[in-house]
């Protein structure tokens, strides 16, 4: 049988394109901002992870330009060999200091970070325990490792404990959770995760891709929000959200980070972060540290948007544990309704993301809206009015 036959038999994307409801790969013709030009028209951007709005910050942009002028466009090699710049070390040192850890290590992407950290740490006789709604990159790291995967029900601490009870005493265990879940926007019950993990002798890793710049003192993330940053063993994060660049990192104990540095195949066998990306991430990190009001502004807008949708009669996914985040999902329930709503909202000048099974349970499809600290209340009101009008029009 021809292995490509399944490619020719697969018709879902073609059917959606033919119906005019295909919602993916819209083309941007402008910078990533609160308003963009997308396929020739102005759209209010409510579908970006640019939480602090730093993709257009002049000093952040300038840092990338200067890095290209100094270092060129790329490193053309892995960090192990010719690909380590002084800029990489400077970035890693500042990440570690910002997060209060001994050491940090950077990766080319956030996906690569999770794949590289987990596969580097979890060995043949180890266990990795995951929240069922963890990001796909975490599951990729689990598959790449030689360990055994156990999953617990989303934010269900009793089920987490039950999973850990299954780990043999002579085996290592790493509990991996998202800090802020990327689709639902809810926050992990991290104090309980830490308590249960420690009681079972397990270590804890938090993926804070959507928590950095959003939660905690100065935007340092989920563990800082709860005041338990010293009890979390490993922080993972990305540069492609709040830090306006591309790449990722792990931060933790120096010996653990050095072990990952020498055992992570995705790190060892990949080229290093290009100079411009590293410089932009470093400049964005410094900007965040110098402007702690940005996460506070983002929190205020998140509360404003959540209240605004509720006042307009929209059914949104509730903020778990009472912690508001800039990710506000609106229930559309079915896949078909989601495609129709996204198209109509897009045509009215607002970009939102469709979230469909398996990213959500069947019957709980969503529109994922996400806010930036640089949005204005007027922009959010305009967008919320359009979304509400479309959604209520579909129900009529």
Same domain, 262 and 308: no
> 119 is written with which tokens?
């596969």
Q: What percent of the chain has pLDDT over 70?
A: 99
Bridge partners, residue 251, by sequence:
104, 235
The arithmetic mean of pLDDT across residues 215-239, rounded, is 98
Same domain, 269 and 235: yes
What's the pTM value of the predicted model, to 2 decimals?
0.95
Same domain, 307 and 247: no
Spatial contact of 152 and 162, defined as CB atoms under 8 Å apart: yes
Number of folded domains in the chain? 2
pLDDT in tens, 9-59: 999 999 999 999 999 999 999 999 999 999 999 999 999 999 999 999 999
Same domain, 189 and 330: no
Q: Which residue in 154, 203, 159 sits closest to 181, CA to CA?
A: 154
Same domain, 284 and 301: no
Spatial contact of 174 and 126, defined as CB atoms under 8 Å apart: yes
The arithmetic mean of pLDDT across residues 151-175, rounded, is 97
SS3 label, residue 250: strand
Same domain, 40 and 63: no
Spatial contact of 324 and 303, defined as CB atoms under 8 Å apart: yes
Instruction: Check pLDDT > 70 for residue 396.
Output: no
- d(Cα 117, Cα 356) in Å, to the nearest integer? 28
Same domain, 264 and 131: yes
Is residue 360 included in any domain, yes or no? yes
**HSE (side-chain half, CA atoms, 13 Å) at 180:** 32
Residue finishing a domain among 263, 290, 317: 290
194 band by pLDDT with thresholds 50, 70 and 90: very high
The arithmetic mean of pLDDT across residues 253-281, rounded, is 98
* DSSP letter (8 states) at residue 180: B
CATH number at residue 167: 3.40.640.10
Cα→Cα distances 3→7, 12, 13, 328, Å: 8, 19, 19, 41
Q: What percent of the chain has pLDDT over 90?
A: 94
Spatial contact of 75 and 83, defined as CB atoms under 8 Å apart: yes
The number of beta carbons lying within 10 Å of the beta carbon of residue 233 is 20
Is residue 260 included in any domain, yes or no? yes
Beta strands in 253-352 (DSSP E): 327-333, 350-351
Is residue 254 included in any domain, yes or no? yes
Report the range of poorest mean pLDDT among 32-36, 241-245, 320-324, 386-390: 320-324
Residue finishing a domain among 260, 290, 320: 290
Cβ burial, residue 237 (10 Å; 0-12/13-18/19+): buried
Instruction: Check pLDDT > 80 for residue 321.
Output: no
Same domain, 231 and 266: yes
Residue 395's pLDDT is what? 81
Q: Where are the alpha helices (DSSP H) in 78-156?
A: 86-99, 110-121, 136-144
Same domain, 232 and 93: yes
Residue finishing a domain among 245, 274, 290: 290
Residue 84's pLDDT is what? 97
Is residue 4 included in any domain, yes or no? no
Residue 147's pLDDT is what? 97
Instruction: Check pLDDT > 70 for residue 216.
Output: yes
Q: Which residue in 234, 252, 99, 229 sits closest to 174, CA to CA?
A: 234
pLDDT in tens, 362-374: 888 999 999 999 9
251: left (phi over 0), alpha (psi -120 to 50) or beta: beta
> 323 is written with which tokens?
């912690």
SS3 label, residue 328: strand
Same domain, 197 and 243: yes
Strand order in the sheet with 327-333: 327-333, 365-370, 353-355
> C-alpha angle with apex 160: 196 to 205, nearest 5 degrees?
70
Same domain, 83 and 136: yes
Same domain, 123 and 253: yes
In whole numbers, what is the pLDDT of the chain averaged over residues?
96
CATH number at residue 36: 3.90.1150.10
Q: Residue 280 sits in which domain range?
A: 58-290
Residue 362's pLDDT is what? 86
pLDDT in tens, 93-115: 999 999 999 999 999 999 999 99
Q: Which residues contact 11 (CB under 8 A, 6 or more apart)?
A: none
How far the first Cα of the chain sits from its last, in Å, is 49
Instruction: Check pLDDT > 80 for residue 282.
Output: yes
Is residue 148 included in any domain, yes or no? yes
Is residue 52 included in any domain, yes or no? no
**HSE (side-chain half, CA atoms, 13 Å) at 250:** 30
Is residue 261 included in any domain, yes or no? yes
Strand order in the sheet with 35-38: 35-38, 41-45, 350-351
Spatial contact of 183 and 364, defined as CB atoms under 8 Å apart: no
Which letter, b or e, does each residue of 102-135 get, where b requires 16 or more Cβ atoms within 10 Å of its Cβ? ebbbbbbbbbbbbbbbbbbbbeeebbbbbbebbb
The residue ranking higher by pLDDT, 313 or 317, is: 313
Is residue 116 included in any domain, yes or no? yes
> 343 is written with which tokens?
């198209």
């Amino acid at each position: 049988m021809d292995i490509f036959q399944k490619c020719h038999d697969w018709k879902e994307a073609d059917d959606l394109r033919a119906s005019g409801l295909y919602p993916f790969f819209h083309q941007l013709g402008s910078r990533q901002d609160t308003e963009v030009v997308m396929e020739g028209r102005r759209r209010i951007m409510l579908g970006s992870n640019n939480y602090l709005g730093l993709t257009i910050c002049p000093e952040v942009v300038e840092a990338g330009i200067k890095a290209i002028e100094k270092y060129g466009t790329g490193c053309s090699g892995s960090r192990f060999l010719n690909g380590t710049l002084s800029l990489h070390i400077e970035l890693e040192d500042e990440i570690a200091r910002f997060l209060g850890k001994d050491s940090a290590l950077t990766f080319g992407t956030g996906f690569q970070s999770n794949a590289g950290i987990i596969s580097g740490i979890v060995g043949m006789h180890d266990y990795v325990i995951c929240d069922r709604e963890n990001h796909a990159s975490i599951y990729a790291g689990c598959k790449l490792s030689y360990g055994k995967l156990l999953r617990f029900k989303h934010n269900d601490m009793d089920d987490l404990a039950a999973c850990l009870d299954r780990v043999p005493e002579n085996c290592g265990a790493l509990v991996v959770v998202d800090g802020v879940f990327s689709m639902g926007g809810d926050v992990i019950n991290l104090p309980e995760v830490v308590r249960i993990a420690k009681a079972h002798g397990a270590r804890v890793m938090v993926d804070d891709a959507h928590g950095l710049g959003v939660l905690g003192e100065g935007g340092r993330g989920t563990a800082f929000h709860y005041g338990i940053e010293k009890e979390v063993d490993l922080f993972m994060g990305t540069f492609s959200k709040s830090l306006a660049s591309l790449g990722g990192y792990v931060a933790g104990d120096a010996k653990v980070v050095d072990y990952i540095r020498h055992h992570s195949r995705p790190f060892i066998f990949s080229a290093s972060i290009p100079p411009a990306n590293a410089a932009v991430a470093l400049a964005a990190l410094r900007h965040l540290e110098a402007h702690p009001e940005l996460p506070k502004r983002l929190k205020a807008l998140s509360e404003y948007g959540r209240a605004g949708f509720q006042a307009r009669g929209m059914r949104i996914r509730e903020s778990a544990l009472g912690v508001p985040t800039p990710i506000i999902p609106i229930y559309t329930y079915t896949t078909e309704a989601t495609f129709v709503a996204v198209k109509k909202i897009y045509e009215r000048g607002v970009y939102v993301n469709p979230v469909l099974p398996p990213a959500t349970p069947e019957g709980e499809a969503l529109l994922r809206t996400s806010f930036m600290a640089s949005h204005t209340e007027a922009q959010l009101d305009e967008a919320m009015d359009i979304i509400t009008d479309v959604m209520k029009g579909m129900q009529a």
